[in-house]
Structure formats: structure tokens, C-alpha cells
Amino acid sequence: MRVEGKRVLASDGPLFGFSGERKEVEGGVGLHVRLGGVSRNCRFVIVDAPSSYNAIFGRPLISAFRCVPSSYHQCLKFNNGGVQVRIRGDPKMARQCYVTAVNTVSWMAEAEELEREMAEQEGVEEGGMSLGEAMEVAEEMAEAEELGEISPEEARGVVDEEEQRQEESLEEAMEVDEVGGEELEFEREEARVSWERSGLEPAEEVVEMEVLTRAGEAQRIRISGGLSLEDQERMRACIQGNVDIFAWSAADMPGIDADVACHRLNLDSRARPIRQKMRAIATKLEAPIREEVQKLLDAGFISEIQYPGWISNVVMVKKGGGKWRMCVDFSLLNKSCPKDCYPLPRIDALVDSAVGFSLMSFLDAFSGYHQIRMHPPDVKDVFFITREGCFSYKMMPFGLKNAGATYQRMMDRIFRDQRGRNLEVYVDDLMVKSKCVDSHLRDLEETFATLRRFKMRLNPLKCVFGANRGKFLGHLLTPAGVEPNPDKVKAILDLESPRSAKEVQRLTRKLAGLSRFLSRSGDRCSSFFKVLRGNQAFEWTAECEEAFQGLKRQLSQAPLLQSPKEGEDLALYLGVGGEAVSSVLVREEGKKQLPVYYVSRILKKAELRYPILEKLAYALVISARKLRPYFQAHSIRVITDHPLRKVLEGVEHSGRLAKWSIELSEFDISFVPRLSIKAQAVADFLADYVTEAEAEEPKPQEAWKMVVDGASGRHSLGGGVVLVSPQGVTIEQAVTFHFPVTNNQAEYEAVIAGLRLAKELEIQDVEAFTDSMVVASQIRGEFEAREPTLARYLSKVRALIGGFRSFSIQHVPREESAAADRLAKFGPRGGGTLTELFRPAIEEGELMEVNRRSSWMDPLVTFLTTGELSEEVKDAKSFRHKAAHYLMLEGSLHRKMLSGLLARCVTEEEVPRILEEVHSGECGSHSGGRTLEARVIRQGYFWRTIRKDTAEFARRCRKCQVHAPLQLLPAQRLRSITAPWPFAIWGMDLVGPFPPASGQRRFLLVMIDYFSKWLEIKPLAKVTSQVIRNFVWGEIICRHGLPQAIVTDNGPQFASEEFISFCTQLGIDLRFASVHHPRSNGQVEAANKVIVNLLKKKVENLKGSWVEQLPSVLWALRTTPNTATRETPFKLSHGCEAVLPVEFEVRSPRVAAAAEGSEAWRLENEEGLRLSLDMVEELRDVAAIRQEEIKRRMARYFDKHIRVKQFAEGDLVLKKVDAAGRSAAVGKLNPSWEGPYIVEKALVNGGYYLQDAEGRTLSHTWNGDDLKRFYP
């Protein structure tokens, strides 16, 4: 049994047989014995005697387990938590043992053989286990103490000591996260899977049954012993029919297709590969490394390559049974890989979803990670080095940073249709769940079909089918509920008291996985963290020891947690301790209250100073954050005797209480008083929070104390109220006055504020204290209030006093009202909540409205005043959420804003006046919708459609519209003008004025052919329609033929009746660009820029000589290849290239040939010219294609920046002021837009004909770029 000698204890005496024979005892040993899931510490005596058994169960052990043995039936039977466990032996084997005991020949050799046979043949029945499995000795229990280290079953990678120190401790587990907590990092999750997940295994005995592989080999699979023989055979037949999805060796694993899952490193391109040198390895580890490498090579998971990228070292991790596992330390490679943020499922949600099913099958993938291929380009970087060489993984290895994310993504994709319905999956852990055997067999068939379709294979040695209970993700699942993992609990129960800070850290890490089952874990473990804080020497105090033993006692009786049912209400109990806040979520089943989840959080320094009521509110907020899925899916009843609802809903608050109130408003939370406790777990939770004040039954008539004070000075104008409950709970409120008051009036205002606060908290008995003798005496009736204002205040106070069962007021020295005085002088800086008053209490009148119209505020006012829902409310749950943002203050409805401001709610009739004044009044800034909304709220107003109304009001302001900034983005897609042939469409424009030249010529008339880019230009002294007409006739029509169309702007010389008539008679389509939209005639505008730029370079200082330079400029542009056509305008027009002067200075080949002047050259030249003319059509077709491609590229770029504006006939629009041709020297204060105008007709090219207010049509079209919609 390999029991260490140091564990053998001295014996108490010899053993005596039935006939009096004496046998000396070698010693005794204490061993952990586990039967049917129950563990006990038992003492065995050691005897040097031949026997066919390793150990004999005596009466002390039978008594410890309270079991009943039967030699006739060859079994043991006992109860475990209400479940009957039966452990039976094999009669045939018992007979063999008996025969062996009689024969003494070769006794020891036969005994060892029998031991092996017993281990293989002993059976199981109904939740029990075989005798060979039932007795687990000290060696196995010593391994259990190593829980929390790298799991021998599921080690995923290597995490250095620094990362282990940063793992999640219990204190971090009690820090509240958003919605179910922060997602665990995959690599950290992979490193400590044993403690956090504890694998997939049944919690009952299993039987092994044989199936035949496709090759005809007999293999064993494991099925729950709790099933009947008939169901076991049905389960075996189901598995036999799907035996192909099991892998008995790596050769049976085809691998998952790369299009389903393929792991990519996504290495940072800036990362420099690190090639580690091989680390020194112990000689005894060389053989295990060699064996592991050979296994990977034989399986085809790795290959040897000579020139790797990144190189990592191997790390050997010891497995159970003295074997070793080879892991690769990819830590340096992982640092250069970005984090894959694919989320892990919430463990709590998976566990809750798996509760309540009577049958579960636990499946495990065969070398799960190795079934996924590496992305081929990344293979060169997943290298490891050994003495055998450098090897690269072809399949995804353990230890890569995002391997878990890749695996989870693949599993979610594969089981998309099954997750949550009949299967739960967490990385490589799968569990099929069903209600009965028939449905379980169907669910298994569906799962096997899915696995077969995606070529995924299971490990039959780690799969268990048909279990009634089992371990899943660190929890023990049963049909009745969720229990903590017994291995985790036992590991903590067997721990000795920590002797160092590191051992305390290990303890807290282990407790973190059990925090759901621990009531008040924050209070119980707070002493542990005191030991870890600071640099003080380690000291395990008596307080720590007491807490440690208390945790052990609690874990030994851990409650059975429930999973809530859909639609049922849940109850929440809150508790406040000395250093932590806690809660327990329970569900009710009949008259029982069953715990669902325990939550606890250790308070930080500032949080420790919160008042008791704020701590309770904080406990509720912490619970809502931690248990957000439960709060969203269920109605929550908070059971408390404190006025928590009034603190969160009924009183004006600022700061954290207001934020908590709004945060909780999204949930359906109600508050009910605490009645009888129907569950021991809840009773134990609440018993720990009974304070000394609560231990004594309070007197029914015991009153609340109210201390008030008012201040009226140059730097302080306010009041303070302090309410103290009979149990010592303190509520503070600071009041700020925004109106002048005297000292006595300030005292009265403070008294009135205190009485209103007490009324809100539903307090019946009040004892008031004030340091003002005058106010106290007047309220008691001892002094007369002669001053009219004070008389009105006194009347107001007496009216409020009438609403209480008992009231008294006393005068006290100023020292006894110091807390209220601090609030009065320093306001919110002195602590407490803040209330702002804008008018004296005596000026609040009660007005009656006659024939008042219904308002959106009426249902809210009714609910907040009476607690009743009006008939208008359709969805009560949603309405209660909305009502949590409102409160009644001084008879008016107010909205609590997240910024901490209180905004008065106004009616629809008041809205226009408020908007007019804030937007365009004396202090208005004509701001936009969002700014106007913010200003209205800052001024203290709110209504339900404030965002829509402010945006609409700002949009329709006429002054804002006409002075709005100009819009520079184009409004339409780019439309190009395409010419069908040369000289068909011309663009025409005027450039100038230039410096005066000869003949006083100052302008330049430019025309360009849209197809060939041929230019015609003429300098002019006068620009008249007659000059334009003559130029078109002489230079265009008589030289190049009659054009199809001419595109020009709206200049008077072009738009004159004379020129229009001229074009009409000749059949020329005269097209005008939209006003102030030069892009409509962009071809000539571009030519103008080129001409002017070239003239600048030609004339230099002789500015008046620009006319003389025009011929050379024109010639240069005609003989320069165009970007769009890639040909010169000359060649597209005449079919060949022009001869340039430089060809005569430095003779070109064609000029040199022409100089000879031979007849042969002449004929050849003429033939070449004719051939060029024959090919000019093809040349022009190619040029047209090139132009079209350029236009498409330009349109593609242009259309990225458009802001589409479309107007229909009858729309009101504004047009740019400068678009009407006004002077550029208009004042800066003039508007940018004018109008409105009416759209008379919309053209297809983005132009519009407009009418003014008098119905007159404007003469020219206007492009959408220069228009904007007008809102009347």
C-alpha cells in the first residue's frame, strides 16, 4: 500500500483471535477511507501476516460509516444524505479469496494476483462503488491536498510564479463586477482548471462495458451504475452504433476541418522573434521528454524543422502516479499576440441551466486542442526545443494565449443548435442533460451526429454516460440542486493552519471558488486579508484561527443551492457586518425558503464610514451587480425592517444614493418587512447580523430623535436635520436656502424640513431638539409669536405636527446640536444629502385648478402621492421603473437627473415659453438642439419629450437658419458630360481681368472641346454678345464645324437674347451651368487654371505682354498629351502628331527623312498619313474609353464625400446669399442664407427652378449644393 514509515504510529497492544491466539501488532496508521462519496478518518492496525486482503473492515469502521454489512448478500448498505448507497462484492471473487486463504502455498504471489483481479472485476450498483474503489488510502488523499496547483488531468500551459501570485483571490472574488462578473482570461483559466473547474466526472459508481470498434477490437466504455441493467444495455447499444466518433488512439483522429476552426497567432508585426536557448534539464527527465516527443511525432501533431521563428522551452509537470506531462512555455510568444476577446460563458449560468435534470452524460474530447489545426503561416512560430531537436506543432498546442478562445468559438459554432437545450459546453467540457432515459438517448444521438459532421472525436476513457449526479465546472450537480465540489471542500478541511503569507494566499484562492456557498464570506475572511496587508511580519492570530475553523465548520455543512425557475419571484435578505456587506438570494417553494446564491463584499476604507442605511443600500447595489442576470429575469423582494425604500425612492438625494437609486430603477424591486424565517440557511445568515440594539425588542412607542439647526449669515444660509432611529441608525440632511431669512426663520425652515423628512420615512413618534429657545418655546406654546412672519411659520409647523402620533420639542445647548449645525453651515460639504429650497415654506399655497387639462405628469403624481396606479398605466412593471426617477417636492413633481440636479417637471403649455426664453430670450444664445436641451435641464426644467422638442425648436428658428454656416460638402453624385465625337460639345468661359495689354485687351475668351481637349482662345477688350457670337462663328463653326452643344455659365453676354437666338437658329443646344456652381462647366474651368498658370511663367515681370504669349501657350497646350486621353489634342484632331520646332534644331528621324526629299520617301510618307487617318477612329475610341475610366475614378472619390440633399416640388428652401452674385465685401454680420423660396421644378441633374415668395420664377437653375431646407 506504499504507506510511508513516518506515518506508522505505536500500537496499543496485541490482537487476540477467537481461540485466544495472540498476534503482535507492528503499529497503527490513520487513513482516509471513502465509501459511496462519504469520507471518514479511520485507524488501522498493521499485522505481519499472510492474507488474501490488503485491509479488513472492523467494527470501528462499520460504526463510523453507520453501515449494515451482510455476508449472505456480500454487500454493505448505508444512507448518505437521504440517498441509499449499496456497495456489493463479487461472490465468485469472494469464493476465490476463501480458497486462497486455505491454501498457504505461494500465498503472497497469489494475493497480489487476486488484488489485481478484484480491481478489474468488482461491480457497482445504485450510486455505490466497488470495494476496490471505495477504500482510498493516504497516498491518494495526499494528492488531493495539491488541488489548486497545475492539474495532472487538464494542465493547459505554464504560468510563472508572478502570474500565480496575481490569480484571483477571495478578496477579488468579492469585488463586484458588471453582469455576472468580469470574464476570466482564457490562459489563466487554462492554468488553474483543476481548482476552478475540477473536471467532468460522475459522483457515483460506474460500470465498464465492452463495445467493438470498426476494426473489431473490444474496448471499454463507462456507464453509470445507477441505471438498470436494461437501460445500461440500451446505453451501450447507442454507443456501439456511434463507435466511430470515439478515438482509441491518435490514429483514429482525423482533425477538424480548417474552415470550421483554425488557430491563428496574429503576431504583432513589430515583434522580433525570440529564439530561446535550451534550458538545462535533469537527467531523469530526458527519457520522459523523449517519449512524449515520439508520441507527438507518431500522432502527427508535430514535425521537425530546421529553421524556426520563435523557439520556446519545455517544462515538465508531474502527473498522478509519478508520471510526467510535457508542457511548452509559450509565455514570451504570448506577449506578442493580441488578446482574443471572445467571451467565455458564465459558469453560474451554465450550472443553473444544468440543474434539475435526472440524467447527465459527461463527454471529453480526445486531445481536444490537438484536433484543431494551426494556421499554416503560423506553424513556424510554435516551436519548442529539446535535445532531440526543434519541433513545430501542426495542431494547436496547449499554452497558447488564445487557444481557449479558439476552442470556445469552435464549440459554440458546432453546438449552436443544442447549447442550453440539451447540452452545456465550457471550452472542452461537454455535458448532455435530459429528463429521462428515452430523451437522453435521443439527445446523445443528436450530439454524436453533430460530432461526426464536424469530425470531432471523443476520449472514451474519460466519458461517462447516464449519470444521475456529477461534477461540472467546480460544482456537484444533482437533480435536487447544486452542491460544492467535494474535492474542493475536502482539500480545505484537510488543510492545516497557514504558516506563511503564501499559504494564506493559497487558502483565499481556494475559498474563491466556493464563495457562492459561503454565507457572510467577507466578514469571515476579513481577518485573513489583514494578515496580508502591508509589509508587516506574518502572524497567524487567534482571530484568524477562529475564522479558519469557522469556515471549516461551515463548509462541512454547506447548503444545497437551488436554481430559480422561470417567472418566479425571488427574495433577497441583506446584512451589514463590521467590515463587509452580504446578502442571500432565496426562492420559495411552498413554505420553504431555499438559498440560490450568497454574495459578500469586503468594504474599503471610505465605504466603512457609510451610515448603516447607506451600507444596506450598498449591499443591495452590490447584489444587483453581481446577480444581474437573476435581477433581470425575476422580480426581487427585498426583505428588511429598515426604511430602505424611502431612503432610495422617497427622499431627495444627491451623490451616491441618487446614482444607486437610478441604477436600481431598471429592476423590478419591491421592499417588504421581515416576517418569519422559513429556512435554516437564511436564519443562520440573519443571526450573524443581529446588533445589540436589535437583540432587545424595541418598545412600541419608542420615538425617533430629530436634531435641527438653522444658519443665517453672510457665508452660510441653510439648515441641518439629523434623524436618529431607536436602533441608532442616523440619517442626515443638509438644506440650502435660495432666499433671505432671519435666524429664527432659518430655525423654522429647518424644523419644517425635518418634519417633512420624518413624514417621508413614515415615522410616527418624534422627539425634536433645537438650540433656539424662541422657536422651541413658541412651538410648545410658552411664547407668543407676535411677529407676522413667525406666526405664519408657527401655523405651518403645527399643521405638520398634526400628522404624527406623538411629538415633542426641547431646547438644548449648541454643543448638543453640533451635527445639525455643521450641516447648516457647510451644506453638502458637511456630509448627508442635499435639499435646495427656492421659496419659503410659508409661501406654498394650495391652488385648485378648474377644468384643468390632463397632463403627462398625472399618473406619476398619483403614484408617488398615494402609491396607487392610475387607469392610464398599462405596464405596471415598466411604470414603476420609470417612477423611480421622480419624486414629489413641495407639492411639485421633480425629476432626478444623473448629474445630481433636480429638475421641475412642467406641462405642455409651459414648454413654448421656456424654450423661447432659453433659446432666444435676453440671455439666449440661439444654441442647437443638444445644447438647448442641456441648458433647459440646467435651468431646472424637464418634460418627457424634451429632446424632441428642443431639437425641433432649434431647427425651426428662422434666425438660426439664415445665419447657419455654409455647407461645403456636395449634395449630389458627380455627373460627367460625355462628348460622342470631337468638336461636338464645347465649354466656354471668360477669364480676367488681366493687366491691360495692347488695344486695352483685358479679358480672355476660352473654349475647349470636351472630347479632344482642343483649345480656342481670344483676347478681348470688350465683352459683348456680338463679340461672343462672332468668335463662335469664325473660330468654332467655320473651323471645326457646327457643334452639338455649348456649355457656359450665366454671364450676361452668354445669356443675352442675341446669343441665345444665334444658337437657336443654328440648332446649337446652349446649356447654362447652375448659378454659382462652376463644377457644372468644370472642363473649361480646369483649362482656365492651366492657361493662367502657364501665362504667369511666360510673362514673368512683363505683365502687359500676356497677349503676345498666347500663341505659344495655345500651341503648347494643343501638343501636350492630356491626362485623361493620354494623347495630344492635335493628334486626336488631325490623326498625327504635330512637328515641333525642336525637331529642326535637333533633327528627329522623320525630319531627317523628309530632308532627303526623295520620291520614295514622299510616297511612303503619304501612305503613312493615309494609314494614320484610317486608324484615327480606333485612336479616338481608345481615348474615349480612357476618359470614361478617369471619370469613373473621379466619381468614385468624389462620391465618398457627398451629403445627399434632395428636394421635391413645393419644398421650402434657403439659398446662399453670395450665390445671387452679391459683392464679396458684404459685412460679416449679414446672413449666410436668404429666402425662403419654393422649389418649382426639380431637374434630374441636381438643379432646381425656384420661385420667390411672390410667385416669380428665378431665371436660372440652382444646384442642390447651394440650397438647404427651410423649417417654418
For residue 1149, what pLDDT is reported? 63
Q: Which fold has domain 985-1167?
A: Nucleotidyltransferase; domain 5 (3.30.420)
pLDDT tens-place string over residues 1027-1082:
888 888 888 888 888 888 888 887 778 878 888 888 888 888 887 776 666 666 67
CB-neighbour burial class of residue 936 (10 A; exposed 0-12, middle 13-18, buried 19+):
buried
pLDDT band at 448 (very low <50, low <70, confident <90, very high): very high
Of the ranges 114-118, 410-414, 1244-1248, which one carries the lowest mean pLDDT score? 114-118
Residues of each domain in the chain carrying CATH 3.10.10.10: 202-478
**Angle 346-349-351 from CA coordinates, rounded to 5°:** 110
pLDDT band at 206 (very low <50, low <70, confident <90, very high): confident
Predicted confidence (pLDDT) at residue 466 exceeds the cutoff of 70 = yes
Distance in angstroms (rounded) separating the CA atoms of residues 492 and 230: 40
Selection from 489, 468, 439, 626 nearest residue 145 by Cα: 489
**Angle 999-1005-1007 from CA coordinates, rounded to 5°:** 150
* Three-state DSSP state, 853: coil
Backbone dihedral angles phi then psi of residue 1020, each to the nearest 5 degrees? -130, 145
Residues of each domain in the chain carrying CATH 2.30.30.140: 1202-1269
Beta strands 464-467 and 218-224 are: parallel
Judge whether 1002 and 996 are in contact, CB under 8 Å: yes
* Three-state DSSP state, 723: strand
Place of cell 465509501: 35
pLDDT band at 77 (very low <50, low <70, confident <90, very high): confident
What's the whole-model pTM score?
A: 0.48
Predicted confidence (pLDDT) at residue 441 exceeds the cutoff of 70 = yes
CB-neighbour burial class of residue 25 (10 A; exposed 0-12, middle 13-18, buried 19+):
middle
- Residue 294, CA distances (Å) to 300, 329, 391 in order: 10, 19, 11
Predicted confidence (pLDDT) at residue 845 exceeds the cutoff of 50 = no
Which strands, in side-by-side order, build the sheet including 482-484?
201-202, 470-472, 475-477, 482-484
pLDDT tens-place string over residues 329-363:
888 888 889 988 888 888 888 888 888 888 999 99
CB atoms within 10 A of CB 538: 13
Which strands, in side-by-side order, build the sheet including 1045-1048?
1015-1020, 1003-1009, 985-991, 1045-1048, 1069-1072
pLDDT tens-place string over residues 52-68:
677 887 777 787 788 88
pLDDT tens-place string over residues 850-896:
344 578 888 888 888 877 777 777 777 788 888 888 888 877 888 88
For residue 44, what pLDDT is reported? 80
At the second CATH level, the architecture of 570-690 is Roll (3.10)
CB atoms within 10 A of CB 629: 14
pLDDT tens-place string over residues 137-174:
223 333 333 322 333 333 333 333 333 333 333 333 33
Query: What is 202-478's CATH number?
Result: 3.10.10.10
Average pLDDT, the chain: 76
Q: Which fold has domain 858-962?
A: Endonuclease III; domain 1 (1.10.340)
Query: What is 1202-1269's CATH number?
Result: 2.30.30.140
Predicted confidence (pLDDT) at residue 12 exceeds the cutoff of 60 = no
Residues of each domain in the chain carrying CATH 1.10.340.70: 858-962
Judge whether 572 and 592 are in contact, CB under 8 Å: no
For residue 127, what pLDDT is reported? 34
Residues of each domain in the chain carrying CATH 3.30.420.10: 704-842, 985-1167
Place of cell 445669356: 1055
Distance in angstroms (rounded) separating the CA atoms of residues 526 and 577: 11
For residue 432, what pLDDT is reported? 93
For residue 768, what pLDDT is reported? 93
Mean pLDDT over 1241-1258 rounds to 73
pLDDT tens-place string over residues 1124-1178:
777 788 877 777 777 677 666 566 666 555 555 566 666 766 666 676 666 677 7
Q: Which fold has domain 704-842?
A: Nucleotidyltransferase; domain 5 (3.30.420)
pLDDT tens-place string over residues 548-578:
888 888 888 878 888 888 888 899 999 888 8
